[in-house]
Structure 1
Amino acid sequence: MKANSIIKGNETIIERKLYDPKSPNASTGILNGQSSNVLNWDDVRYPWAYPLYKQMLANFWTPFEINMSSDRKQYAELSSDEQESFNKIIGLLAFLDSIQTDYAGRVANYITDSSLTALMTVLGFQEVVHNQSYSYVLSSLVDKSKQDEIFEYWKHDNVLRERNEFIIDGYDAFTKNPTPETFLRSIVYDVVLEGLNFYSGFSFFYNLARNQKMVSTSTMINYINRDEQLHVHLFTKIFDAVREEFSLDVREANEFVEKTFMEAADLEIKWGNYILGDRFPGISSTELDAYIKFMANKRVNQLGGNRPYPDHRKNPMPWIKAYESINDGKSDFFEQKSRQYTKVSDDNGFDDL
């Protein structure tokens, strides 16, 4: 699939200066703008930046807070299929969050707004925490040689590599040729990564938890999920700002978003059938396929496009809402009964578009 150009002009994006005493503190633009690079949260260009910063800080957590003793016992009792999927999904997440950490730093180098650079720095830190959490989970469950093997999966598993390289190609186009066009496209791939590619894996862990298995791992995944939702929100706001400031052709941008997510959904469905299939009660391949299309619709809508799957406007796995959602106030990690026995109702279980 060859995407259409989504922004007129291929001017090079210049990396921001370390400081500029001749420029205002509040930036004049998101890319190739003028800014002193001094951050004053009471003098910023984008009014949504500070509330988002506070929310990202309020989400702070570390994996060391989570007691893995019960999961250590339960992991040995999982079926061979459950263990295999558990390991491969952890390997996938470790790869994606590793790349995401680097991508966030590269994006920050070109954003000429100190408040958004700060947000990108917090985002990158959170991705480091996510990545470390996968090591923490595995070190609690398997020996070092098995952990090393799991972290190598992405190199040798063809299905996993195919979906990962789809994202990497989008990122590479930006890092090798930083223009407004490649920057904007890379954001679309970012929203695919953080807003779609995690979700079949997340559903696996949540399905284990609702069967009282590996609840501590599911708790950690829940907090990662919460962070990723904020990351998607941040990048969609940046996407909107770039479109507005560069007088982007909205029709062409939406077309690119829709086509990219359709291809991404196909790859995610292929991965979901490969890693889960119909092997686990509670998640059928039909439901998972529909859920992926539902999530693709949701992300395309956030980016301003038209939903590519008009027949998938309702969450086909309503039970998952109880695991994706979490209160703003942090609960005690060691008292997880409320998550283990959450009952899905019409209020917390159904998500329509």
Structure 2
Amino acid sequence: MSILSWDDFEDDEPKQAAQAHQPAPVEPKKTADSQVVSDALQSSSHVAAAQPARTAGSRGSNPTDSMERASAALEQLDAAPGLEELEMGAQRVQVDDKAMINCRADLNQLVPFKYEWAWQKYLDGCANHWMPQEVNMNHDIALWKSENGLTEDERTIVMRSLGFFSTADSLVANNLVLAIYRHITNPECRQYILRQAFEEAIHTHAYQYCIESLGMDEGEVFNMYREVPSVARKAAWGLKYTQSLSDPTFQTGTPENDQILLRNLIAFYCVLEGIFFYCGFSQILSMGRRNKMNGVAEQFQYILRDESMHLNFGIDMINQIKIENPGLWTAEFQQEIIQMILEGTMLEIEYARDTMPRGVLGMNAAMMEEYLKFICNRRLAQLGLPEQFAGVNNPFQWMSEMMDLRKEKNFFETRVTDYQTGGALSW
């Protein structure tokens, strides 16, 4: 069977029918001695016909010439520019040579470790490995297709959550690989950042798996970050902090640019992953607690486990940069960071009101607002900044249990879900 060509569809002239099988031409009788010569000549003629004739000066006709050119090129290779960039020499990298940013030590030498916590988080992330297809979605599919399976408010929550998260994790991954990675100059931290980028890809895969399993309009869901105002505003807020760093000409090394990097890290780790995700997570996990959309909720529980580790890593990295570069953490810069985190909190409260115009799943917009203010205070405290909302409490204690007591069984009294490779959670 021949491969179709677009030319076949554009040619208006009818194709000639395949020629009928013709008998082989009668050849003169060959002797045993002449048979070998005849076959050799026939083979040579076929090869000559199949291959285009080469000119006498055609390059590559002589393997010896190619080897000579390769050897000559290697003799002219100047290793100095590459070695100068890496600052590689006979001296081995020492622990004290390492730093989070603006470090000139060889980044290709993973050890000795300076930040053991970063390497441990990388190992923990690897032990947490999971894939979306491990989760059974049959219960969710039946419930989603049932006319009376979910209320309209519950359906809105599922759609909005998948709409935001399906692109949010892509934005985070892009920021990691296009902006953050090349400016963090510590190899063990880079090792974890690569692991995190892979996990963000798994999360995007998980949302796509949920959307496809439920038969949703993929175009509608994936484009919500452009079309739904409360989703679009969160995405736009995050994107503005990655534009400078993704510029190939951007370099750290000055107080102004170092603060741009620090601002980006706080925006993505503390706000995007540390605040923007919590309304949607609590809504979907509350649905799972009520035995609804168990498969989607199970995916979100795995993702929450990953994201809480991303958050902890980011905060540790940010605080280490502050320790090593105290001149960056000025009073003016601290006020700017407080405002950033408050902006993120207000955007998430706006999103909560949009997704919960009425009480649903044992929660409402007022409860979610208090919860987000509680989370905001927590993020500020983790950065050594003053809390901004006095007297707020956590109305969703079960969320803290899921994140803070991850060595325990989950709230359905099933198996331990912390640091296991593979295996689906049971709801």
- How high is the TM-score relative to the length of structure 2? 0.70
State the identity as a percent: 22
Letter in 2 for 1:29: A
What secondary structure sits across from 1:84 in the alignment? helix
**1:180 Cα offset (Å):** 0.4
Letter in 1 for 2:243: D
Residue 182 of structure 2 is matched in structure 1 by 109
Letter in 2 for 1:187: L
**More contact order relative to length (CA 8 Å, sep ≥ 6):** 1
Match of 2:352 among 272, 279, 293: 272
Query: Does 2:291 correspond to 1:212?
Result: yes
Query: Does 2:21 correspond to 1:21?
Result: no
**1:40 Cα offset (Å):** 3.2
1:72-91 residue pairs with structure 2 within 5 A? 72-76=141-145, 77-91=149-163
Query: Any conservation in 2 of the 1:265–1:296 contact (CA below 8 Å)?
Result: yes
Kindly provide the CA deviation profile for residues 140-187 of structure 1, in whole angstroms up to 9, marking residues without a partner as x: 1115xx122210111111221112211111222433455201000001
Query: Does 2:390 correspond to 1:288?
Result: no
Query: Does 2:278 correspond to 1:199?
Result: yes
In the alignment, the residues of structure 2 paired with residue 67 and residue 18 of structure 1 have an alpha-carbon distance, to the nearest angstrom, of 50
Distance 1:220 1:163, change over 3 A: same
Residue 123 of structure 1 is matched in structure 2 by 196
Query: Does 2:167 correspond to 1:95?
Result: yes
In the alignment, the residues of structure 2 paired with residue 96 and residue 141 of structure 1 have an alpha-carbon distance, to the nearest angstrom, of 20
1:27-176 residue pairs with structure 2 within 5 A? 27-41=97-111, 43-76=112-145, 77-105=149-177, 106-143=179-216, 146-176=217-247
Query: Any conservation in 2 of the 1:192–1:261 contact (CA below 8 Å)?
Result: yes
**1:281 Cα offset (Å):** 3.8
In the alignment, the residues of structure 2 paired with residue 334 and residue 120 of structure 1 have an alpha-carbon distance, to the nearest angstrom, of 25
Residue 225 of structure 1 is matched in structure 2 by 304
**1:256 Cα offset (Å):** 2.5
**1:24 Cα offset (Å):** 4.5
Count residues in correspondence: 318
**1:96 Cα offset (Å):** 0.8
Match of 1:187 among 261, 265, 268: 265
Residue 411 of structure 2 is matched in structure 1 by none
In the alignment, the residues of structure 1 paired with residue 110 and residue 152 of structure 2 have an alpha-carbon distance, to the nearest angstrom, of 54
In the alignment, the residues of structure 1 paired with residue 419 and residue 106 of structure 2 have an alpha-carbon distance, to the nearest angstrom, of 36
In the alignment, the residues of structure 1 paired with residue 361 and residue 119 of structure 2 have an alpha-carbon distance, to the nearest angstrom, of 43
In the alignment, the residues of structure 2 paired with residue 68 and residue 332 of structure 1 have an alpha-carbon distance, to the nearest angstrom, of 16
In the alignment, the residues of structure 2 paired with residue 111 and residue 279 of structure 1 have an alpha-carbon distance, to the nearest angstrom, of 44
Query: Any conservation in 2 of the 1:67–1:216 contact (CA below 8 Å)?
Result: yes
- How high is the TM-score relative to the length of structure 1? 0.84
Residue 6 of structure 1 is matched in structure 2 by none
**1:28 Cα offset (Å):** 3.0
Residue 69 of structure 2 is matched in structure 1 by none
Distance 1:63 1:281, change over 3 A: closer
Query: Any conservation in 2 of the 1:39–1:115 contact (CA below 8 Å)?
Result: no
Residue 300 of structure 1 is matched in structure 2 by 380
Distance 1:19 1:293, change over 3 A: same
Kindly provide the CA deviation profile for residues 194-226 of structure 1, in whole angstroms up to 9, marking residues without a partner as x: 111000001110111111101121111011111
Query: Any conservation in 2 of the 1:293–1:309 contact (CA below 8 Å)?
Result: yes
The CA RMSD measured in Å over matched residues stands at 2.2
Structure 1 residues without counterparts, runs of 5 or longer: 1-16, 338-353
Distance 1:150 1:247, change over 3 A: same
**1:250 Cα offset (Å):** 4.9
Match of 2:325 among 246, 271, 290: 246
In the alignment, the residues of structure 1 paired with residue 210 and residue 231 of structure 2 have an alpha-carbon distance, to the nearest angstrom, of 21
> Which structure has the bigger radius of gyration?
2
Distance 1:216 1:79, change over 3 A: same
What secondary structure sits across from 1:186 in the alignment? helix
Structure 2 residues without counterparts, runs of 5 or longer: 1-83, 252-256, 408-417
Distance 1:296 1:335, change over 3 A: closer
**1:236 Cα offset (Å):** 1.1
Query: Does 2:329 correspond to 1:260?
Result: no
**1:270 Cα offset (Å):** 0.6
Query: Any conservation in 1 of the 2:119–2:189 contact (CA below 8 Å)?
Result: no
